[in-house]
């Protein structure tokens, strides 16, 4: 068998230019997708607890190294070193936390090391790493042993341009120091921002429609003007962190969304964007739902809703209950928006 291999290799090198052969071999071992950068999102445990997570990673060939942050805020967090492998053929990343190198918490904590199995996907300019994780206890503790199972769940990450902490040295040349995550389109001056009354109805170019349940119809002339010149995101949304609350996978292309005040009716008003296009402007939350219809297809299989608080009502923060219906599926999501953050829900369509 070895002699046959040697003969085949000699024949190959005899008739193929060595430089072409080198290029073929190089392409065959190419590691493809560049994952270097910042990835941010959240993970959900099997008991439905939710935590934010951020990766800062650098890819060299098929090897991936970097750091992860697991946190509820930038004051209380755990930072771990990571190492992993990228499978370019299957667009799959397996990466594992090696050790906790920094922890900030007010209480005595039990640290767990997480092992991530993530699939890469892309929709337009957006890039995602999504999958599952398992974890083990890092040290012996009361009631736990080192290496003992620490639980698992689902992970959802998106490539972003800025960190909630600080860029690692291997990223500082390529990452802007002040970039807003999921930044909205450039705003106009306040004097040029059109206002939308409660009777307005706006339809975006991707088949999105939004209206209050009891809204009156707008004039045809007004509606045409709004469609011809899309409204920009107002100044109040600038420099707010877009907090990804949940990723909802639907099997039906028509999604109905209902937004209620979550709790006592205290004057909360919100502005809602669908795919960074204005859908509802300065609407008051109450027991009567604000309704949105989201039409999804293979061209727009990933879409996002962003809720911006226009005020905090009498009882801060601004909270809303969102009910989502897609065919036989029904989801209940609690949204919270403040002067520091917006609430984001991502919808993914799968047949």
What is the C-alpha to C-alpha distance for residues 134 and 150, in angstroms, rounded to an integer?
Answer: 7
What is the C-alpha to C-alpha distance for residues 106 and 33, in angstroms, rounded to an integer?
Answer: 40
Reported pTM: 0.50
Write out the two tokens for 130.
């999504």
Burial of 202-230, coded b for 16+ CB within 10 Å and e otherwise, reads bbbeebbebbbeebeebeeebeeebeeee
10-residue mean pLDDT profile of the chain (351 residues): values are 50 50 45 86 80 93 95 84 96 96 77 95 80 94 90 88 87 54 36 37 38 41 38 47 88 92 79 91 89 84 90 81 91 86 90 79
What is the C-alpha to C-alpha distance for residues 340 and 346, in angstroms, rounded to an integer?
Answer: 20
Phi-psi region of 267 (alpha: psi -120 to 50; beta: other; left: phi over 0): left
- Parallel, antiparallel or unpaired: strands 341-349 and 241-250: parallel
Handedness of CA 187, 188, 190, 194 (dihedral sign): negative
The reported pLDDT for the residue numbered 264 is: 66
The reported pLDDT for the residue numbered 108 is: 64
The reported pLDDT for the residue numbered 18 is: 52
The reported pLDDT for the residue numbered 173 is: 66
Choosing among 2.40.128.30, 1.10.1040.10, 3.40.720.10, 2.40.50.100, the CATH entry for 37-160 is 2.40.128.30
Q: Using alpha carbons only, what angle is made at residue 234 by residues 231 and 240, rounded to the nearest 5 degrees?
A: 130
The reported pLDDT for the residue numbered 254 is: 92
The reported pLDDT for the residue numbered 25 is: 46
CB atoms within 10 A of CB 313: 20
The reported pLDDT for the residue numbered 314 is: 75
Q: Each residue of 113-165: pLDDT tens digit? A: 999 999 998 866 778 898 999 999 999 988 889 999 999 998 888 888 888 88
The reported pLDDT for the residue numbered 210 is: 41
The reported pLDDT for the residue numbered 11 is: 54
Q: Which residue's entry shows tokens 């190959």? A: 12
What is the C-alpha to C-alpha distance for residues 230 and 276, in angstroms, rounded to an integer?
Answer: 11
- Mutual orientation of helices 2-15 and 18-28 as an angle, nearest 10°? 120
What is the C-alpha to C-alpha distance for residues 342 and 29, in angstroms, rounded to an integer?
Answer: 43
The structural domains of the chain, with segments of one domain joined by +, span 37-160, 190-349
Q: Which residue's entry shows tokens 């969102």? A: 322
């Amino acid at each position: 068998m070895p002699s046959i291999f040697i003969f085949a290799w000699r024949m190959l090198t005899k008739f193929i230019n060595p430089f072409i052969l080198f290029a073929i071999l190089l392409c065959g071992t190419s590691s493809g997708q560049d994952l270097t950068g910042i990835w941010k999102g959240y993970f959900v445990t099997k008991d439905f607890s939710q935590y934010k997570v951020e990766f800062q990673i650098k890819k060299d060939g098929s090897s991936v190294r970097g750091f992860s942050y697991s946190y509820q805020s930038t004051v209380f967090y755990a930072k771990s070193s990571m190492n992993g492998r990228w499978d370019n053929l299957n667009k799959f990343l397996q990466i594992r936390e090696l050790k906790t190198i920094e922890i900030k918490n007010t209480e005595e904590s039990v640290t767990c090391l997480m092992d991530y199995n993530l699939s890469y996907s892309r929709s337009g300019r957006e890039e995602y790493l999504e999958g599952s994780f398992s974890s083990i206890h890092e040290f012996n503790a009361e009631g736990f042993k080192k290496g003992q199972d620490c639980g698992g769940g689902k992970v959802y990450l998106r490539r972003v341009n800025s960190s909630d902490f600080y860029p690692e040295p291997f990223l500082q040349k390529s990452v802007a120091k002040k970039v807003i995550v999921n930044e909205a389109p450039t705003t106009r001056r306040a004097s040029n921002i059109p206002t939308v009354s409660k009777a307005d109805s706006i339809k975006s170019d991707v088949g999105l429609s939004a209206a209050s349940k009891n809204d009156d119809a707008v004039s045809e002339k007004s509606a045409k003007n709004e469609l011809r010149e899309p409204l920009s995101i107002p100044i109040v949304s600038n420099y707010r962190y877009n907090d990804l609350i949940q990723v909802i996978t639907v099997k039906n292309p028509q999604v109905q969304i209902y937004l209620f005040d979550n709790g006592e009716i205290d004057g909360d008003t919100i502005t809602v964007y669908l795919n960074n296009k204005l859908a509802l402007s300065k609407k008051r939350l109450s027991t009567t739902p604000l309704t949105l219809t989201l039409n999804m297809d293979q061209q727009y299989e990933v879409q996002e809703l962003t809720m911006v608080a226009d005020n905090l009502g009498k009882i801060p923060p601004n909270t809303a209950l969102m009910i989502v219906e897609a065919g036989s599926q029904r989801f209940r999501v609690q949204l919270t928006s403040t002067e520091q953050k917006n609430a984001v829900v991502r919808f993914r369509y799968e047949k």
